[in-house]
Amino acid sequence: MNNLELQAARKLLFLDITEAAELIGGASPRAWRFWEIGERSVPDDVSERITELLDIRDEMITSVVAAVEKGEESKVPYAITYDRFKARYPHSDRARWRLVQSVAAEICARGIATLIDEEDADESRGAIRLMDGDGAGSSARARSFLRRPAS
């Protein structure tokens, strides 16, 4: 992965530089900036981790599409602020919130589902959740990744 691809992937995942460095683990925001401007090569483990996140994002989107195709209500809860997300998923972190925002934005932009306020989700039976009550995603791979301890 080159520096431009790294920056594009980070932005697609709705992460700022500090959040990306935190999620990847072991990287400072300064190091991340060096990778993005091409001053240093993107380490293989960072490239693999970002690719894993992009794959998880795709799996989460696929999961929503499958649920809608099965006839589930095409509404997805969306936490407009990190505080609202954290209240619903207390064991999660900002990076996970950004991943869910990225997925929600994609499914909304594609017209797959409509977004509803996270606070109204309990009243809306059949809403498709991108995260379960433990703060993990809807696919097995997403659950495995997202259940790792938040940094």
Q: Which domain holds residue 126?
A: 3-146
Distance CA 139, CA 131 (A): 9
CATH code, domain carrying 95: 1.10.3100.10
Residue 38: the pLDDT is 96
Question: pLDDT tens digits for the chain (151 residues)?
Answer: 999 999 999 999 999 999 899 887 668 999 999 999 999 999 999 999 999 889 989 998 998 898 889 888 788 888 889 998 888 888 888 888 898 899 999 999 999 888 988 877 665 555 677 766 554 555 566 656 555 544 4
The residues, ordered by sequence, that sit 6+ positions from 65 with a Cβ below 8 Å of its Cβ are 107, 112
Q: Which pTM value belongs to this model?
A: 0.81
**Total count of domains within the chain:** 1
In this structure, are residues 58 and 65 in contact, taking their beta carbons and an 8 Å threshold?
Answer: no
Residue 144: the pLDDT is 61
Question: Does residue 122 form part of some domain?
Answer: yes
Partner residues linked to 115 by β-bridges: 76
Task: Give φ, ψ of 7 to 5 degrees.
Answer: -65, -45
Question: Does residue 113 form part of some domain?
Answer: yes
Residue 151: the pLDDT is 44
Question: Does residue 11 form part of some domain?
Answer: yes
Question: Does residue 151 form part of some domain?
Answer: no
Burial (0-12, 13-18, 19+ Cβ within 10 Å), 19: buried
